[in-house]
Structure 1
Amino acid sequence: MRWTNAMSGFMLHRMCQLISNGVRTDRGFKEVHLNHVAKALQEFSGNEVTSTQVYNHLRKWRQRWVRVTKLRELSGTLWDEDTSMITLEEEHYKGHVKAHPKDADVLNKPIENYQQMQIIFGNGQATGKFAMGLVSRWDPHLTLLRAHLMWILMLVLLLVVLLRQPKHMLVMVLVVGHHLRLATRGGGACLVRGTLLS
């Protein structure tokens, strides 16, 4: 089967709907959900579509997302959030495209289906830098908020322990201090980890 742009867009839109409905697991999408997308895509396009074809096509879009993410981190690139476009100055663009011709379709032009890819793959830096899945990225502001909340919790607990049983105060300080260290790290136990496709 040959995938058209309309079919790809339809499939990605349906995958985003599944995510918004909360049916994606930490391991990705279940076969039953891929079957629903395949059936809807079959009705939309008039072509016979299987869940395996949906799965494989989703993997191709994941590879595209990995490439886009790497290009956004490339030295000299600029990102335009409004147009979903990675731009390079003309001289750098020509040199890069000469060395990497496949990148021409995502440089200096709006990236097709960027928002859908971001919803499906963008929050998933789980088992590798570009793994797919549902993971919260390390956010320094969120980490700072966690640290402040942990300090407040620690102070309240210390006050309660001190008022009730002063002899247990040292143990409480050590336990809360350990959790505070976990809360202020950029990873570790603070992140939910998972992958979408194996």
Structure 2
Amino acid sequence: MEKETQNVKGQSSKRTVWTPPMDKNFMKLMVAQVHDGQYLDGQFSKHAWKHIVQQFKAKFGPNYDLEILKNHYRALKKNHSAIRTLIDQSGFGWDNDREMVYADDDQVWDDYVKAHPDFGIWRTKSITGYEDLCIIFGDGGASGKHSRAPSEKVMNHEKHIPKDAGNLNGERSQSPLVGSDDLGNNTLKPINLDSVQVS
């Protein structure tokens, strides 16, 4: 989809408007090329780009050339980098349900945006396909201490962690899982760490 816009000199130019289905398809095409080994040293191979362009045009029409797709790739890379920068800061994390960055409280946002005004947009902006972007740009996804699975419900940007779920550092911990059934198959169950003696 193209939109007519005016540039600085008053000349009209066409700007591509990306819809969520277009974004999703584009990211899936890129992820497939990553899995096929066509993304090396932070760049897609010529073969990968040719395949991506062909597949994208087949689905969305002939107006989407290599330049348009590469421009959008660069925009997605910039967005991914900004989000990674934020969620790597203390007090920030990624909310998979809402597909956006969250902060422990409003003061965390206020302080960070005051020091880094360009990041203010991410306070309310969501981004579809962040997990795919993590695969494409190589950081493995929102799986760190500040990520939230879709099943984790959070109200008012507050973390709801059971009191017994913290370790000595106040971080969430996971109990090791062990066990096997009578047939030798592994059946995983949590170990009660309170009963383990350390020598």
Please give the secondary structure, in 2, of the residue aligned with 1:86. Answer: strand
Q: CA deviation at 1:12?
A: 0.9
| Residue number in structure 1 paired with 2:134 | 118
Which of 12, 19, 23 is the matching residue for 1:4?
Answer: 19
| Residue number in structure 2 paired with 1:61 | 76
Q: 1:122 to 1:108 in 2, by over 3 A?
A: farther
Please give the secondary structure, in 1, of the residue aligned with 2:101. Answer: strand
The answer to whether residue 46 in structure 2 is matched with residue 31 in structure 1 is: yes
Give CA-to-partner distance per residue, 1:83-131, whole Å, 9 cap, x none: 654321123324544665653453467542111110001339xxxxxxx
Structure 2 Cα separation of the partners of residues 32 and 67 of structure 1: 29
Asked whether the 8 Å contact 1:80–1:86 carries over to 2, the reply is yes
| Residue number in structure 2 paired with 1:49 | 64
Identity of aligned residues (%): 26
Structure 2 Cα separation of the partners of residues 102 and 6 of structure 1: 27
CA RMSD of aligned residues (A): 2.8
Runs of 4+ in 1 over 3 A off after TM superposition: 78-85, 94-111
Greater length-normalized contact order (CA 8 Å, ≥ 6 residues apart): 1
Q: 1:8 to 1:81 in 2, by over 3 A?
A: closer
Q: Any stretches of 5+ residues in structure 2 without a counterpart? A: 1-15, 141-199
| Residue number in structure 1 paired with 2:31 | 16
Count the aligned residue pairs.
Answer: 124
Structure 2 Cα separation of the partners of residues 113 and 65 of structure 1: 10
Asked whether the 8 Å contact 1:39–1:49 carries over to 2, the reply is no
Q: TM-score, normalised by structure 1?
A: 0.52
Asked whether the 8 Å contact 1:97–1:104 carries over to 2, the reply is yes
Q: 1:93 to 1:27 in 2, by over 3 A?
A: closer
Q: Any stretches of 5+ residues in structure 1 without a counterpart? A: 125-198
If each structure's helix is expressed as a fraction of its own residues, which one has the higher value?
Answer: 1
Structure 1 Cα separation of the partners of residues 120 and 33 of structure 2: 31
Q: CA deviation at 1:73?
A: 1.9
